[in-house]
Amino acid sequence: MPAEFPDFRLGSVLATSFTGTLSERHGEPVERIPTPRRLVDWLTVNGLAVDSCTAAQLDLARELRESIHATATAAAIGEPLSTSAVEVINGRSVQGRAAATLTPDRHRQWRLSSASCVEDALGVIAADAISIIAGERDGKLALCASPTCRAAFFDTSQSRSRKWCDMNTCGNRHKKARFHAKNAAENH
Ligand SMILES: [Zn+2]
């Protein structure tokens, strides 16, 4: 994996892992799918392997990503959803032709209609977003407490009190900042 590209953040919820490919939206944004090849890599890591991706397909992916981000954010804070963002999500969902299959060891595997069909993979992501935004799944949409992040994430913790989109990044940064502030205060 070329070192010049930022790593992916891995999460257990497909739609919000996908929106996490652009992070620090309110700070210095980090684009984790800067090229079509990186989208192919991301899809592979997330069980939606395609063998190629065009610049136009990457544009479709990013448009879907921002639409999911906008819609999930509005849902998390109880605001009306943007009609155009919802249209993008629905459009991608309708155009996807991926089929769920069951493996003998009881895993769900997506079968795309062709190996170059990024649109099928985006359809799966759109459907995942629909299920969490519609409240079909056990969990709650919330916004990351980091002021430079504010990513919408899906909280499946029992108490529904998770604060950070990702404990390893935003959560950890907060912990470190608190530690340094405390040490600085004690040294004065
Ligand atoms: Zn965050």
Q: Domains of the chain by range and CATH?
A: 14-186 (1.10.3300.10)
Q: How far apart are CA 135 and CA 36, in angstroms?
A: 31
CB 171, CB 177: distance < 8 Å:
no
- The Cα–Cα gap between 30 and 22 comes to 6
Exposed e or buried b for every residue in 161-173, given b needs 16+ CB within 10 A?
ebbbbbeebbbee
CA 23 to ligand 1 centroid distance, Å: 8
Q: State pLDDT tens for residues 96-115.
A: 999 999 999 999 999 999 88
104 contacts: CB under 8 Å, gap ≥ 6: none
Tokens encoding 97: 């032709």
Report how far ligand 1's centroid is from the alpha carbon of 166 (Å).
6
Nearest to 66 by CA among 87, 85, 42: 85
Distance 156 CA to ligand 1 centre (A): 16
pLDDT digits (tens, 9 = 90+) for 52-66: 999 999 999 999 999
Is pLDDT at 175 greater than 90 in this prediction?
no
The answer to whether residue 13 scores a pLDDT higher than 80 is yes
pLDDT of res. 58 = 98
Residue 149 to residues 19, 25, 79, 166, 171, Cα–Cα distance (Å): 12, 6, 19, 10, 11
Reference 126, options 102, 93, 87, 164; nearest CA is 93
pLDDT at 2 over 70: no
Phi, psi of 148 (to 5 degrees): -90, -5
> Residue 30 forms beta bridges with which residues?
23
Q: Which two tokens stand for residue 36?
A: 């079509």
- Distance (angstroms) between ligand 1 centre and the Cα of 180 equals 19
Percent of the chain with pLDDT over 70: 97
CA of 182 to the centre of ligand 1 (A): 22
On average, the pLDDT of the chain sits at 92
pLDDT-derived band of residue 3, with 50, 70 and 90 as boundaries?
low
Please state the rounded mean pLDDT for residues 175-183: 75
Q: Residue 77 above 70 pLDDT?
A: yes
